[in-house]
Chain A
Amino acid sequence: GAGVSQSPRYKVAKRGQDVALRCDPISGHVSLFWYQQALGQGPEFLTYFQNEAQLDKSGLPSDRFFAERPEGSVSTLKIQRTQQEDSAVYLCASSFRWQETQYFGPGTRLLVL
């Protein structure tokens, strides 16, 4: 079956622009996670959904970051008024249930100029 897909794969934004990153999890997966991976670093947790409920957003770095999953499947990570420090790869992962193996998408590479 299809894995986790993310779009766009690459995004270049001017500082101050808003961006929206999309994640399509594996069909039937209840849990969905967003991670941010800065250059040369490991991924860092941003937020977690169980179905449509956002149960943990402790990793979101500022109130410019917002995530949603309104119907419990596709999720969107939105970054408002992008800053250069937002440049990173944003990874989405899904799992059948919480505490089970997370399967990662290819990521969206965001470059803020």
Chain B
Amino acid sequence: AQSVTQPDIHITVSEGASLELRCNYSYGATPYLFWYVQSPGQGLQLLLKYFSGDTLVQGIKGFEAEFKRSQSSFNLRKPSVHWSDAAEYFCAVGRTGTASKLTFGTGTRLQVTL
């Protein structure tokens, strides 16, 4: 069965600092990978996705993620964090070849200090 691990429950960074959120997945074939962001009381907004091709994926709001098959990782990065980036971030994996129900990690809460 597929699974996702987000080892960091809570991260605090200063505004303007760089950010990296970790995501490790377990899946037997090439996965579909996603990062979603959830602000309080809101639904999930897609930041970026990886289906195939270039392993460095660009998303919205200046985020990027890199798929590393050898490490089973899909870490999210941003070079300079803004206070408005404070939210909960979820990594998710979908199965290829069938209806892609998503399996989510437990999330990383990002706090941004001014």
Contact = CB atoms under 8 A, between A and B. Distances in A.
Interface of A: 4, 31, 33, 35, 40-45, 48, 50, 55-56, 59, 91, 93, 98-107
A91 B10 CA distance: 23
Interface stretch (B66-74, B77-85, B100-108): B100-108
Given A4-B43, A44-B104, A106-B43, A31 B99 contact: yes
Contact of A43 (B32, B42, B99, B104): B104
* Chain B interface size, under 10 / 10 to 19 / 20 to 34 / 35 or more: 20 to 34
Given A55-B99, A56-B101, A41 B43 contact: no
Given A99-B32, A99-B94, A43 B46 contact: no
Nearest to A10: B41
Interface in B1-54: 4, 32, 34, 36, 41-46, 49
B100 A98 contact: yes
B101 A45 contact: yes
B44 A104 contact: yes
B103 A101 contact: no
A35 B102 CA distance: 9
Contact of B106 (A42, A48, A107): A42
A106 B99 contact: no
10 contacts: A42-B104, A42-B107, A43-B90, A45-B103, A98-B99, A99-B100, A101-B34, A103-B46, A104-B45, A107-B43
